[in-house]
Structure 1
Amino acid sequence: VKPYVNNQEGFDNMSENSDFINDLKINSANIVDLILDVEDYFDIVIDQESMERMIDVKSTLQIIETKLSVK
């Protein structure tokens, strides 16, 4: 997440409720890059529906955990 954050204070205070766009100031293009990084790192595929739900830290972690559990 850190390479894409444009709000250091938001990053320093990040919680599971942190919103990628509003709190961390990650733009939509970088969110796509973040998702691609997650797919590569965890060797998972994130479908379009899941991508659209990845708006904050908590939902992203839940999606990753779900994908890993069925792997």
Structure 2
Amino acid sequence: MNKEELLSRLKVIVSNYTQNKEALDSINEDTDFLKDLKINSANLVDVVLDVEEEFGIEIDNLSMEKMLNVRAAIEIIETKLHEAGRE
């Protein structure tokens, strides 16, 4: 799965929680979930849970704490998919 596909699937997930739809339209690896998309911290947990379900992975607490922007989220998803043997 390439980064563009990951980004596309991630965009669908965060669209349910973002308060800034304009930033969502131009989402990229540098997009910050809290600052740019205005996702509150409680909903960020929901994003993580949705990512786990969408990709069939488990995200540990340490990784969850790092998942504050799109680049980090993609790297964590790629790592977890690799660890699970489902790249």
Structure 2: 5+ residue stretches without partners: 1-13
Partner of 2:40: 27
TM-score where L is the length of structure 1: 0.96
Q: Percent identity, please.
A: 52
CA distance in 1, matches of 2:21, 2:48: 20
CA distance in 2, matches of 1:56, 1:24: 10
CA shift for structure 1 position 49: 0.4
CA distance in 2, matches of 1:30, 1:7: 14
RMSD: 0.6
Number of residues of Structure 1 aligned to a counterpart in Structure 2: 71
Q: How does 1:2-41 map to 2 (within 5 A)?
A: 2-41=15-54
- Moved beyond 3 Å, runs of 4+: none
TM-score where L is the length of structure 2: 0.79
